[in-house]
């Protein structure tokens, strides 16, 4: 890594009268011998390779290796120089970055082209070397933009290397074979029977009384067999997610292609909106382009369900003795911009999920995950009577940031629950159980009194996914459903009839 | 009303050889004597005030009154002329509108300034007269843009006249006085006790286990005392609302200043989003301006809760004997961009509501509304034991389109339920019951086999509003709550504790 930075320090008055040339020369010597070498191995660090004083300006050229990066050297130097000039009652008024070139050792990687980078004016890629010409000002150096750029490049290289590997998948458990009573796509069959209708939006349904009752039966089983006996308490998590939440949860790194974005009006003054209303009234069309100019993006619709919960605990310290804590939320919809084309209820843009969340010490969090797994096995084997399996996979909290592989912390990770759909022969992931390590408590600054790390886990129960699996294997006729499930769901209501 | 239209009809070849000048003259005479007068009172209608044939073009000037508006005259004339020219194997290739001026009698109205209108190049307002110079093409005449513009102006005048009057409000019923046990703002008290925390978004909370249990108790009372005995069945209504729904429900007329807008990615190709991800990774800031260029507005978040239900019935015909139909939805959040400043849970951007919806013949819909009102009185008097009143108000379905006053159909309308908040002395609307006439069935083309009009009604039960009222009057300590409510809510859970 090589850094070459040209900067001009602008001072509050001319330097010719005040600071003598020898004083500046002395300062440069001191920098090159000591100040810009500190913390670096012998022979390494940054160096002032050229300098010039003209009126109230000091022009500098700093070169460096990776040990004291040139922008760090500049900030270090500026501070010391400020002290020196202060004695002459001269202040440093501003820093202009004329040029900043960073060169990295860079082997071309299959499938990776670096065409554009934020705050980079020019990118040159030659054999074994990548050269960036930055477009930055002092405040960007303060924010460590150059370091983050280098980190970004390394991430991009890692991502391409991961891409070669497939997502991690390792079988943990497989249930016995079960009797299937159906070989059709349950969504199509439900559409035929009027149990649901496609809604006006993409990947979205209006659910009629019958399938809603089945969803509520799943929810009751989950509550009676798992949440209540394990001491879970219900909470209500927000369903609009502000960017600040996704910044802390890590979703802001990679959620973009799949998010449902939420925008609010720039003002709620009706006059500001009059032209939009007029346009609609005159054309009967909604002028979405006009609207785009009058709204601003503030976040998105619920995607992963648990991140906005953490605001409840943000910045708080909890006594260890209240652990473990178990809460759940079932207060609204989740939304993902899924790939196009027709899917049934097994892949939706709008879906319904009960989110289960627990936290405790590392040991408690891992232990509790095992208790949950037991409960789920009981539900799937003894009540829903489905054919299913468990697999150890790339953690969802990594996948949603665009990472593959396994968690850095080995005990953290995600178990996917999959079931076969007889009509297609494909396996569908229908829920997960995930130990998320200290990721969320760290991201939202939640601490324990003891100083021990707080860990957490979560498990999302998608009602549509449970239904997709159960109905695909058992069909829509209640007489083929397991007795225990029938006693929970009861009679299916008949409300609508059409000609 | 005066209309003056200059148009040029472009033909497929020169008219000089084919149609003889006398033939065109004859056609103009026929138009002015007959064709453009049809349907108008004697002496009224449109008139060709000037015309000229040059090569393959026919230039026309049409003037008219309100009986046969000039643009209607042009379309009528074009059709007939097409037949005439067809005989000479000449077609009309296109119509260019050079100028279209509309003048209306217009008395200046206090508070109404017409500064800008869609498809209008220039607006002149003189004493008693408003002149519009339109910027339209033929397709806009086909879509009746000029007529809709005139209608819009009339609507604007009506709206200003309505503004003078206040919203309609008429007391129907007032409960006995009750004993109040609290004189503070319950939201502040709940914040102190850690029952809720402000979330990351505007007007949005994360609800802890205690208040969530209170919400669920309200829901259980509503289900046990009202929904179940009256035969309501649960459904799941969509929570993202596509524009198509709000076009049909009428909300697209006026929802804009208060909507939470939803946008989807222009594509879910990760490469398209790479620069946004890079920017975030380098700055730790979400580049919302970059995002705005990569998404498109497709609708909004749930606002009124029942409109997206109607897609379930859209275009369907139902047998009369299945009426009345009663369904409810409690599957997610509602969102409104409320006025700024701090409010408690009584005025939120994100809130939770059980939506109750019924339909039947006109008589059934009105009768059922009365049964509901009885049930609510019982709940508020005998279970919640609150001080409350009922008022007959401007129907919500009109208010949400920006209209004031009362419903056009007298039996349709909205009853607001209001309760006093002892800490402020103000009355808060905490729910409503509304008969919506045939508005929704008409908007979504839902019909009855008998041909009779289908009517509907809805009632929104806001859980936060119930809580705001109940806790403001009764306080947060269970020992002051009515016995019946205490037996439903049970013990409040204690889960979190902070240092």
| pLDDT at position A166 over 70 | no
Are A148 and B281 in contact by the 8 Å Cβ rule? The answer is yes
User: Does A140 map to a domain?
Assistant: yes
In this predicted model, what pLDDT tens digit does every residue of B447-476 receive, in sequence order?
999 999 999 999 999 999 999 999 999 999
- Looking at B128, B163, B198, the residue that finishes a domain is B163
- A109 with A225, same domain: the answer is no
Chain A CB contacts of B498 under 8 Å are 316-318
The half-sphere exposure of A287 on its side-chain side, counting CA atoms within 13 A, is 20
- B226 with B359, same domain: the answer is yes
Give the Cα separation of B367 and B358 in Å (integer): 11
| Those residues with Cβ within 8 angstroms of residue A243's Cβ, 6 or more apart along the chain or in another chain | A252, A298, A299, B286, B288
- A75 with A207, same domain: the answer is no
Question: Pick the residue with more confidence: A412 or B473?
Answer: B473
Active site residue A429: yes
Chain B CB contacts of A352 under 8 Å are 236, 331
User: Does B363 map to a domain?
Assistant: yes
- B231 with B315, same domain: the answer is yes
- A147 with A202, same domain: the answer is no
Q: Considering only A265-269, A416-420, B160-164, which range has the smallest mean pLDDT?
A: B160-164
CA distance A424 to chain B (A): 26
Which 3 state secondary structure label does DSSP give B112?
coil
pLDDT bracket for residue A22 (50, 70, 90): confident
User: Does A40 map to a domain?
Assistant: yes
pLDDT bracket for residue A164 (50, 70, 90): low
Q: A300: nearest CA in chain B?
A: B262
| pLDDT at position B487 over 80 | yes
User: What are the structure tokens assigned to B323, written together?
Assistant: 């009426």
| pLDDT at position B116 over 70 | yes
Residue A21, domain CATH: 3.30.70.1920
Chain A CB contacts of B234 under 8 Å are 209, 212-213, 216
Active site residue A31: no
| A350 contacts B118? CB cut-off 8 A | no
Buried b (16+ CB within 10 A) or exposed e, A267-291: ebeeeebbbbbbbbbbbeebbeebb
pLDDT at B164: 60
pLDDT at B293: 98
- Looking at A107, A129, A163, the residue that finishes a domain is A163
In this predicted model, what pLDDT tens digit does every residue of B346-368 receive, in sequence order?
999 999 999 999 999 999 999 99
What is the span of the domain harbouring residue B58? 2-163
Chain B CB contacts of A259 under 8 Å are 265
Q: Considering only B18-22, B176-180, B308-312, which range has the smallest mean pLDDT?
A: B18-22
- B65 with B198, same domain: the answer is no
| A145 contacts B281? CB cut-off 8 A | no
Chain A CB contacts of B317 under 8 Å are 498-499
pLDDT at A340: 77
User: Does B276 map to a domain?
Assistant: no
| Those residues with Cβ within 8 angstroms of residue B251's Cβ, 6 or more apart along the chain or in another chain | B245, B303, B304, B307, B400, B401
pLDDT bracket for residue A408 (50, 70, 90): low
- A85 with A206, same domain: the answer is no
CA distance A498 to chain B (A): 5
Length in residues, chain A: 499
User: Does A53 map to a domain?
Assistant: yes
Are B103 and B127 in contact by the 8 Å Cβ rule? The answer is no
- B141 with B174, same domain: the answer is no
- A56 with A178, same domain: the answer is no
Give the Cα separation of B272 and B269 in Å (integer): 5
Beta-ladder partners of B342: none
| B282 contacts A149? CB cut-off 8 A | yes
Q: A339: nearest CA in chain B?
A: B268
Give the Cα separation of A307 and A304 in Å (integer): 7
Q: What is the mean pLDDT of residues A236-264?
A: 97
- B156 with B177, same domain: the answer is no
Chain A CB contacts of B256 under 8 Å are 265, 273, 276-277, 291, 294
| pLDDT at position B331 over 80 | yes
| pLDDT at position B83 over 90 | yes
| B267 contacts A322? CB cut-off 8 A | no
pLDDT bracket for residue B285 (50, 70, 90): very high
- Total count of domains within chain B: 2
| B256 contacts A273? CB cut-off 8 A | yes
Residue B359, domain CATH: 3.30.930.10
Q: What is the mean pLDDT of residues B72-81?
A: 95
| B402 contacts A275? CB cut-off 8 A | no
Mean residue pLDDT of chain A comes to 94
Q: A272: nearest CA in chain B?
A: B257
pLDDT bracket for residue A409 (50, 70, 90): low
Of the candidates B209, B270, B352, the beta carbon closest to that of A234 is on B209
Of the candidates A149, A197, A273, the beta carbon closest to that of B312 is on A197
Active-site residue identified among A155, A225, A429, A453: A429
Per cent of chain A over pLDDT 90 is 85
Length in residues, chain B: 499
In this predicted model, what pLDDT tens digit does every residue of B294-305 receive, in sequence order?
999 999 999 999
Give the Cα separation of A279 and A286 in Å (integer): 7
Q: Which of A310, A277, A459, A461 is nearest to B259 (CA)?
A: A277
| A261 contacts B295? CB cut-off 8 A | yes
Q: What is the mean pLDDT of residues A429-458?
A: 96
Of the candidates A152, A288, A292, the beta carbon closest to that of B292 is on A292
Residue B166 class from Cβ within 10 Å (0-12 exposed, 13-18 middle, 19+ buried)? Answer: exposed
Cβ contacts below 8 Å, chain A against chain B, sum to 335
Which 3 state secondary structure label does DSSP give B249?
helix
CA distance B41 to chain A (A): 28
Chain B CB contacts of A254 under 8 Å are 277
Question: Pick the residue with more confidence: A363 or A167?
Answer: A363
* Element at A244 (helix H, strand E): helix A243-249
The half-sphere exposure of A307 on its side-chain side, counting CA atoms within 13 A, is 27
- A93 with A206, same domain: the answer is no
The half-sphere exposure of A499 on its side-chain side, counting CA atoms within 13 A, is 14
Give the Cα separation of B492 and A297 in Å (integer): 38
Q: Which residues of B are catalytic?
A: 306, 336, 338, 347, 355, 416, 429, 432, 458, 465
- A228 with A372, same domain: the answer is yes
């Amino acid at each position: 890594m090589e850094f070459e930075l040209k900067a001009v320090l602008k001072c509050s008055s001319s330097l010719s009268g005040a600071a003598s040339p020898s004083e500046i020369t002395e300062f440069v010597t001191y920098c090159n011998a000591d100040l810009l070498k500190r913390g670096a191995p012998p022979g390494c660090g940054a160096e002032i390779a050229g300098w010039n004083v003209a009126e109230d300006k000091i022009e500098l050229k700093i070169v460096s290796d990776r040990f004291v990066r040139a922008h760090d050297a500049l900030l270090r130097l500026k501070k010391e120089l400020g002290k020196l000039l202060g004695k002459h009652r001269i202040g440093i008024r501003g820093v202009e970055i004329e040029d900043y070139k960073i060169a990295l050792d860079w082997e071309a990687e299959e499938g990776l082209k670096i065409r554009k980078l934020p705050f980079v004016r020019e990118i040159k890629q030659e054999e074994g070397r990548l050269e960036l010409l930055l477009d930055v000002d002092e405040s960007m150096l303060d924010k460590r933009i150059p370091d983050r750029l280098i980190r970004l490049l390394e991430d991009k290289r890692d991502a391409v290397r991961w891409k070669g590997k497939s997502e991690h998948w390792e079988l943990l458990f497989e249930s016995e074979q079960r009797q299937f009573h159906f070989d059709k796509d349950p969504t199509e069959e439900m559409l035929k029977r009027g149990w649901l209708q496609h809604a006006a939006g993409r990947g979205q349904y209006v659910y009629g009384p019958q399938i809603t009752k089945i969803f509520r039966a799943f929810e009751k089983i989950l509550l009676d067999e798992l949440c209540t006996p394990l001491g879970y308490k219900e909470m209500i998590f927000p369903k609009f997610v502000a960017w600040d939440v996704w910044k802390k949860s890590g979703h802001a790194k990679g959620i973009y292609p799949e998010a449902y974005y939420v925008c609010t009006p720039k003002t709620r003054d009706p006059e500001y909106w009059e032209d939009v209303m007029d346009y609609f009234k005159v054309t009967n069309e909604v002028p979405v382009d006009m609207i785009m100019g009058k709204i601003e993006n503030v976040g998105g619709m619920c995607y992963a369900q648990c991140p906005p919960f953490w605001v409840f605990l943000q910045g708080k310290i909890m006594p260890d003795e209240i652990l473990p804590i178990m809460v759940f939320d079932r207060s609204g919809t989740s939304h993902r911009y899924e790939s196009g084309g027709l899917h049934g209820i097994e892949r939706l843009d709008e879906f319904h999920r009960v989110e289960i969340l627990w936290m405790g010490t590392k040991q408690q969090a891992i232990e509790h995950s095992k208790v949950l797994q037991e409960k789920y096995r009981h539900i799937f084997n003894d009540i829903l009577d489905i054919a299913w399996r468990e697999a150890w996979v790339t953690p969802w909290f990594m996948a949603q940031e665009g990472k593959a592989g396994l968690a850095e912390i080995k005990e953290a990770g995600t178990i996917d629950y999959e079931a076969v759909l007889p009509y297609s022969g494909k396996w569908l992931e229908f829920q997960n159980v995930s130990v998320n390590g200290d990721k969320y408590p760290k991201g939202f600054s939640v601490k324990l009194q003891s100083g021990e790390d707080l860990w957490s886990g979560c498990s999302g129960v998608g009602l549509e996914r449970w239904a997709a699996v159960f109905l695909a294997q058992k069909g829509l006729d209640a007489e083929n459903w397991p007795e225990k499930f029938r006693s929970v769901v009861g009679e299916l209501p008949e409300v609508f009839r059409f000609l």
